[in-house]
Amino acid sequence: MATATAISRSVIGPPSARKSVVSIPAVSFGSTVSFERSRAANYGQALRLADPSPMISALCSDRRVGDSRIRALVEKPTVLVSEKLGEAGVALLRDFANVDCSYNLSQEELCSKISLCDALIVRSGTKVTREVFEAARGRLKVVGRAGVGIDNVDLQAATENGCLVVNAPTANTVAAAEHGIALLAAMARNIAQADASMKTGNWQRNKYVGVSLVGKTLVIMGLGKVGSEVARRAKGLGMHVIGHDPYAPADRARAIGVELVSFGEAISSADFISLHMPLTPFTSKIFNDETFGKMKKGVRIINVARGGVIDEDALLRALEKGTVAQAALDVFTEEPPSKDNKLVQHENVIVTPHLGASTMEAQEGVAIEIAEAVVGALKGELSATAVNAPMVPSEVLSELAPYVVLSEKLGRLAVQLVRGGSGIKSVKVVYTTARSPDDLDTRILRAMVTKGIVEPISSVFINLVNADYAAKQRGLRISEERTSHNGSPEIPLDSIQVHLSNVESKFASAISNSGAIVVEGRVKDGVPHLTLLGSFSVDASLEGNLILCRQVDQPGMIGTVGSILGGSNVNVSFMSVGRIAPRKHAIMAIGVDEEPPKDVLAKIGKIPAVEEFVFLEL
Ligand SMILES: NC(=O)c1ccc[n+]([C@@H]2O[C@H](COP(=O)([O-])OP(=O)(O)OC[C@H]3O[C@@H](n4cnc5c(N)ncnc54)[C@H](O)[C@@H]3O)[C@@H](O)[C@H]2O)c1
Ligand SMILES: O=C(O)[C@H](O)COP(=O)(O)O
């Protein structure tokens, strides 16, 4: 007696495709007989409507927000803007989303609002902590940082929660560089102190004698975007500019005429040091008692990067000793610093309240850059400024789109065939392709296989951001292999196979000669098809619900099963039979619009020629 097991889960396939059932005559394909109420054309359209890009699948098919991708697209998403954002950016957001501009939220208020938001836009003043991601309960899909530094966003927590983080890395570069130069000149000529003195009625020409810049050695620490712009400007002021950056390409440094030197050489030869590196565990407090001790006496320091790269207590000591003559600080370990902060009060220190990016032009630019990135991500496009997701160029993504759908379906199908045993530990994905490895980026395919496997058996949802992390968390080893194919490299892939090793199957025919569950699929006319199950060739379009039967191949089987289903008002969308040889075993794949009642499935199991069967939701 054959048995059937149904795994129930919300169907996330395109509903409009499932509704568009069209009757067309049976078509024969060699050894595979296919009674296909083909929905290929409609499916393509439905796919575009319901799933306009693979990232929608990656970012929006979150079971926790409901089972309809269409609803997610039709309803406007909500974007919370928690810090002042340029009007042009807000207007861009409003065209696409409901925008809630709520500034100065406490951490508690942010956590309570966030579960109603699909995106959050911040500057450096909002701490997007693990607590915030957890409070979002899976709804938050993207955090946009309207600026460069993402040290106020817990990237690990974002990744674990499948939330994309994007930033706006270029629009404030010039503003930050200009602020650095402004601080450099203002510090050297005591502008701030002299101004404050005059405003209290003094005229102290002798007290505020400055130092000249021309001919002095300026060290740029971090020759990235801002550092390079500062270097160019400082050269224009006649300074001798050198740099330290372990990761900067030497040709970039050469192009702007900056010699790259070691950290030790940099700090010991500088008259001025301008900081432009990010705050990382490695750069945290990199300027400390020891490093200040190695500097030339009377060095002057400008920081428009991040406060945390300086040990502020050590800087105060260095200022007291005179090792550091002056400092100009735009950024602080704690922002805002306390009112009695000794650095802020120090007469040889000039300060600004993190104004590096604050020009009208930069803020408009940053606002537009981040609004476009966030809207793009919510629409399902991959952002060029994603911080915590692998970058897949959009042209690669669009040609792989049908294979992305196929990968997820194959994963989903394979996992539903598992009976239990010792759990799924090892997954192999085999790509048959005419392309060389350099020409086929499979990261998104691997992520979607992982999504297909993990989502039906867990409470996590998977997207491109967290797929590898989620697999690792579950102890799932996903390996990839390529098999060469003699076809045209114009077509990215011939087929994709998913192998699950060391598992028992509830449908024995899915086990191949190697002992693994093997499912293989191809894209036909843009539609994902199952083409191999274990050792059986089949041809079933992978959408909606599927009944797979292994039977003794004999006339009348299609009619018998069809009339059981029809008699119970279960609409069949296609039937396809794959055989080993005539009158031996065959696999019949039956697409049904809805899950048949249990007694109907039982009737199929009781057909004498049916050896086993399984009901699957894709
Ligand atoms: N004050 C502001 O308002 C303001 C505005 C813009 C940027 N920033 C900050 O300025 C910094 C630089 O921004 P960017 O856009 O130029 O970034 P960037 O990524 O283009 O450049 C950073 C550079 O630092 C280098 N670097 C990394 N570790 C280093 C180390 N240990 N020693 C020396 N160099 C190291 C990197 O190789 C890179 O070239 C960031 O911290 C950013 O947050 C501040
Ligand atoms: O990293 C940045 O982009 C700057 O520090 C600017 O930060 P802000 O957006 O808070 O001004």
Tell me the CATH number at 606: 3.30.1330.90
- Does residue 123 surpass a pLDDT of 80? yes
Residue 247 Cβ inside 6 Å of ligand 1? The answer reads yes
pLDDT of residue 582: 53
Give DSSP secondary structure letters for 262-287: -HHHHHHH-SEEEE-----TTTTT-B
pLDDT of residue 268: 98
Are residues 466 and 427 both part of a single domain?
yes
Active-site entry in 75, 334, 335, 347? 335
Mean residue pLDDT across the chain: 85
- What is the rounded distance in angstroms from the CA atom of residue 13 to the CA atom of residue 70? 10
Within a domain: 553? yes
Structure tokens at 98: 């409901």
Within a domain: 428? yes
Instruction: Tell me the residue type at 490.
Output: E
pLDDT of residue 290: 97
Give DSSP secondary structure letters for 479-545: EEEEEE-SS-TTSS-SEEEEEE-S--BSSGGGB-TTSSEEEEEEEETTEEEEEEETTEEEEEE-SSE
Local confidence band at 170 (pLDDT 50, 70, 90 cut-offs): very high
pLDDT of residue 579: 67
Within a domain: 121? yes
Residue 93 Cβ inside 6 Å of ligand 2? The answer reads no
- What is the rounded distance in angstroms from the CA atom of residue 17 to the CA atom of residue 545? 12
Local confidence band at 391 (pLDDT 50, 70, 90 cut-offs): low
Are residues 102 and 176 both part of a single domain?
no
Active-site entry in 18, 37, 69, 354? 354
Candidates 126, 167, 172, 363: which one to mutate for ligand 2, based on the most atoms within 8 Å of Cβ? 172
- What is the rounded distance in angstroms from the CA atom of residue 267 to the CA atom of residue 284? 16
Within a domain: 42? no
Residue nearest to atom 28 of ligand 1 (CA): 277
Are residues 344 and 414 both part of a single domain?
no
Within a domain: 321? yes
Are residues 514 and 449 both part of a single domain?
yes
Angle at 534 between CA 15 and CA 587, to 5 degrees: 65
Residue 306: active-site member: yes
Residue 240: active-site member: no
Helix, strand or coil for residue 63?
helix
CA 481 to chain CA centroid, Å, is 24
With CA atoms as reference, report the closest residue to 119 among 136, 105, 134. Answer: 136
Instruction: Tell me the residue type at 239.
Output: M
Local confidence band at 167 (pLDDT 50, 70, 90 cut-offs): very high
Contact 118, 88 (CB under 8 A): no
- What is the rounded distance in angstroms from the CA atom of residue 111 to the CA atom of residue 108? 5
Residue 257 Cβ inside 6 Å of ligand 1? The answer reads no
Residue 33 Cβ inside 6 Å of ligand 1? The answer reads no
Are residues 176 and 149 both part of a single domain?
no
Phi, psi of 113 (to 5 degrees): -80, -30
Within a domain: 53? no
Q: How many CB atoms lie within 10 A of CB 253?
A: 21
For residue 40, the 8-state DSSP code is: H
Domain that holds residue 400: 394-616
Helix, strand or coil for residue 9?
coil
Are residues 347 and 368 both part of a single domain?
no
Are residues 89 and 122 both part of a single domain?
yes
Beta strands in 71-157 (DSSP E): 78-81, 98-101, 119-122, 142-145
- Does residue 180 surpass a pLDDT of 70? yes
Residue 354: active-site member: yes
Are residues 136 and 186 both part of a single domain?
no
Q: Give the chain's domain count.
A: 3
For residue range 311-352, list pLDDT tens digits in order.
999 999 999 999 999 999 999 999 999 999 999 999 999 999
Specify the pairing of strand 119-122 against strand 78-81: parallel
Residue nearest to atom 9 of ligand 2 (CA): 123
CATH number of the domain bearing residue 140? 3.40.50.720
Are residues 568 and 441 both part of a single domain?
yes
pLDDT of residue 455: 86
- What is the rounded distance in angstroms from the CA atom of residue 510 to the CA atom of residue 516? 8
Work out the average pLDDT over 109-123. Answer: 97
Local confidence band at 547 (pLDDT 50, 70, 90 cut-offs): very high
Contact 579, 553 (CB under 8 A): yes
What Rg, from alpha-carbon coordinates, does the chain have?
31
**Among 34-38, 150-154, 274-278, where is mean pLDDT lowest?**
34-38
pLDDT of residue 141: 93
- What is the rounded distance in angstroms from the CA atom of residue 192 to the CA atom of residue 198? 10
For residue range 190-218, list pLDDT tens digits in order.
999 999 999 999 999 999 999 999 999 99
Residue 147 Cβ inside 6 Å of ligand 2? The answer reads yes
Phi, psi of 297 (to 5 degrees): -60, 135
Within a domain: 271? yes
Closest atom of ligand 2 to 168 CA is 3
- Does residue 416 surpass a pLDDT of 70? yes
Work out the average pLDDT over 419-427. Answer: 77
Are residues 257 and 146 both part of a single domain?
no
Work out the average pLDDT over 565-585. Answer: 79
Please enumerate, as own/partner, the contacts of 37-41 that have beta carbons within 8 Å and a separation of 24 or more: 37/572, 37/573, 37/574, 37/591, 38/541, 38/574, 39/527, 39/541, 39/543, 39/573, 40/524, 40/525, 40/526, 40/527, 40/541, 41/525
Measured over the CA atoms of residue 381, residue 386, residue 388 and residue 393, the dihedral's sign is positive
Contact 236, 183 (CB under 8 A): no
Q: What is the percent of the chain where pLDDT is above 70?
A: 85
- Does residue 233 surpass a pLDDT of 70? yes
Residue 361 alpha carbon to ligand 2 centre in Å:
14
Residue 9 alpha carbon to ligand 1 centre in Å:
46
Are residues 118 and 242 both part of a single domain?
no
Are residues 217 and 268 both part of a single domain?
yes
Question: Does the ipTM exceed 0.90?
Answer: yes
Within a domain: 435? yes
